[in-house]
Structure 1
Amino acid sequence: MGGRPMRLHDTAIHMALAALLVASSALASPAAVAEVIDPGVRQAGTDNGPPPPLAGLTADEVAFFQDGLARFSAVKMVRSPTGDNSGLGPRFNSNACASCHIQPVVGGSSPSVNPLPAVAHADGATNAVPWFIVSNGPIREARFVSDGGVHDLFVVTNRSDAAGCQIAQPSFAPAGNGFTGQGGNPNIVYRIPTPLLGAGLIEAIPDSAILANARADAFTKRLFGVSGHPNRSGNDGTITRFGWKAQNKSLLLFSAEAYNVEMGISNLIFPQERDETRSAP
């Protein structure tokens, strides 16, 4: 009885090694290498259009989806002439959720043409475009290693809807390669926009299903060194799942944080301004 599991274990290892050798020899052949082609960005019939709602929704759920889509796509202002659609800044990375989450549809990731150079000067703003933001490069959010926080790229200073506001952009110097983001200030690390499509389905997964999937195929995972654990809330112990480190429990919290951090919009969950300088509107 003691030897049988060992033989099975050895057999599994030998099979895995054989598979790796076969794969390696296939990749090494000129024919296999010649067939490896990057197809580039995939095209779909829904590209550049609004994302379709999940099938089977009720009329109320569709209305809720459409309202969220409109808010996600709206360009924010500091103050609007009619008093609505206001709240941008005082520090921000862009002026609309869909500005950064747009490829291949609203809710996706960085578009092929970076919108941030235009956002920097929208409505009369005099922001300098950071060196790592270029028209043909990805949208980047800047975190400083020194404090771990997001340092917003732009301020509302000199915008036509922010009269009297005088606050300064953070310094991102010295500059490096704008396209690759390499070199330059070693205190900066980057984040790019994550696709949000299907996030509601992720929120609906029970914790028990996540834990069951983590336990499944344990032997194979150990064989290939796959391991890990879910992130958990420090308050109720349930699994968190949104954000770069899966630090946010719900989409409501995740969205409120994004409104505050990315567009400087305070809200019921994040009520403090990103900058409380007295001149900030």
Structure 2
Amino acid sequence: MNRIPARRVLALPLAVLLSSAVLAAAEAGSDDLPATRSDLSARDAARVADVTAPIADFSKAEAYEAMQGGGGTSIDPVTADAFSHVSANLAVEKQQDFHLGNALFRKLWVSAPSSTQASDGLGPLYNARSCFSCHIRDGRGHPPEGGRDAISMFLRLARPAATPAELAALQNHEALNFPDPVYGRQLQDLAVPGLAAEGRMVMRYDEVPVTLADGEVVSLRRPHYSVADLAYGPLDAATTLSPRVAPIMLGLGLIEAIHPADILAAADPDDRDGDGISGKATMVRDRSGGSLALGRFGWKAQNATVRDQTAAAFADDIGLSTSAENRPHGDCTEQQTACLSLETGEQERLGSAEAPDPVLDLVTFYSQNLAVPARRKASFPEVLKGKQVFYQTGCTACHTPKFVTRRDASDKAFAFQLIWPYSDFLLHDMGDGLADGQPVGLADGREWRTPPLWGIGLTKTVNGHSFLLHDGRARNLTEAILWHGGEAETARKTFSGLPKDDRQALITFLESL
């Protein structure tokens, strides 16, 4: 009876302890968390400070605002492929790698053994057969409703630390949390022939009416999640379920090129300035070298690099091993003996993994170089009015409008670019309404990384829906805003109290991103 509360008690002080340690390291200017940018001259630093300063003039668009992905911004016509264009400033000699990566991103993997040995290794338990199956047209996933499939949304399974050894693993950044002992890191609803899938996600909604200050009533969907048809016995009593939809793939290389000092500058985990916003940075292990780095990818900032994010998806979603995630049986656990007895797709002549480094590297390169589409109507009066409301409502406290990427970026295409992601890439407490109860490293069960907003206005054009937030519960932008709580509670209340014209202007602004 005491086992579950004990685990929760172990996890809570660790998050507080490690958060303080991260902030202290940043203030001390450690190598892992630099407090200032070392890539800029004094002149460049002044230019960056000037161009990224908050604005007060909303009478016109800012210089280069429409080019929200910097020099790599796509100005191609807006179609269903708007998220799939190559960065405009990518060198011609590198575009072949982009197209090869695209082919691998779309590749359908098959179970081993297979006559197509370069394509086998799927599963044995899995959620999707390709990256493209989840990130449809490189865009946003959706919940399985209205006849839609469940491929682009899954349930993360995790429990907090239960022993001193597990607590030490968290403290040393050797683990983010701990998988269910039978079902692993996520519920796999598909399996290769001859093996039972783990189970299926069950989802239902309650409609919750919210009355705005002017009397308009908006209905929010409160989701409830459970699992059914479990093939390998019950879940552990301490295992939590966290639904996740596949996120948009835009501008990942640019996000990677933001200097950590610029992200850390907004971190205030103890809310020392008293503004109610307590952005928190997190440190994670780089899977290639094991060094500590700033987490900036994933719903809870659990990955430091695009390569690590890609390797994790290969392992957990498709069941493919890579040099960064050497798990040829994917998410199979020690208790799933039937799964572990099946053949893998590792071919010695092709490399040491089912998706060897050429595959992992090309898919990573493709993911890094997907272009951010240009803004639409950035200078239109209604959009400018909405931008002003966005600022005045307090949205920019977390959705930081712009950054200038580092001069010494590993790829010149990403270097010294003025970009407009509208995110601080920090963890924030979003309140009880959005809480999933699942700690991931420093992120507790109420915290989420601020997602970038660029491209959000084209979701319906590309993906045919407008479902938003980590589990797609919001059917539109208004519902997404009204789900904000915790640190965003004041901004939500301010939005709720706005006149209808101002609320619509803010939505129009978001739709232009």
1:280 positional shift: 4.8
Q: What amino acid maps onto 2:257 in structure 1?
A: A
Q: Structure 2 CA distance, aligned partners of 1:85 and 1:140?
A: 24
| RMSD, aligned CA | 3.3
Aligned equivalent of 2:307: 252
Change (3 A) 1:45 1:93: same
Aligned equivalent of 1:117: none
Q: Structure 1 CA distance, aligned partners of 2:88 and 2:265?
A: 27
Q: Please, which of 183, 191, 196 is the counterpart of residue 168 of structure 1?
A: 196
Q: Structure 2 CA distance, aligned partners of 1:100 and 1:255?
A: 13
Partner SS for 2:132: helix
Q: Structure 2 CA distance, aligned partners of 1:236 and 1:198?
A: 24
Q: What amino acid maps onto 1:210 in structure 2?
A: I
User: Is structure 2 residue 341 aligned with structure 1 residue 278?
Assistant: yes
Q: Structure 2 CA distance, aligned partners of 1:48 and 1:225?
A: 39
Contact 2:134/2:153, CA 8 A, preserved across alignment:
no
1:97 positional shift: 0.6
Aligned equivalent of 1:54: 87
Partner SS for 1:98: helix
Partner SS for 2:204: coil
Contact 2:128/2:317, CA 8 A, preserved across alignment:
yes
Q: Percent identity?
A: 25
Aligned equivalent of 1:84: 118
User: Is structure 2 residue 163 aligned with structure 1 residue 108?
Assistant: no
Aligned equivalent of 2:192: 156
Gaps of 5+ in 2: 1-76, 160-178, 207-220, 228-238, 333-338, 345-513
1:176 positional shift: 4.9
1:197 positional shift: 1.2
Change (3 A) 1:251 1:261: same
Change (3 A) 1:92 1:58: same
Deviations along 1:255-274, one digit per CA (max 9) or x if unpaired, are 11110100001122212222
1:67 positional shift: 1.4
Aligned equivalent of 2:356: none
Contact 1:108/1:195, CA 8 A, preserved across alignment:
yes
TM-score (norm 1): 0.61
Q: Structure 1 CA distance, aligned partners of 2:247 and 2:122?
A: 21
1:207 positional shift: 1.0
Partner SS for 1:270: coil
1:191 positional shift: 0.9
TM-score (norm 2): 0.35
Gaps of 5+ in 1: 1-43, 115-131, 158-165
Change (3 A) 1:187 1:247: closer
Q: Please, which of 133, 138, 145 is the counterpart of residue 99 of structure 1?
A: 133
Greater relative CO (CA pairs within 8 A, separation 6+) = 2
Contact 1:77/1:86, CA 8 A, preserved across alignment:
yes
- Structure with higher Rg: it is 1
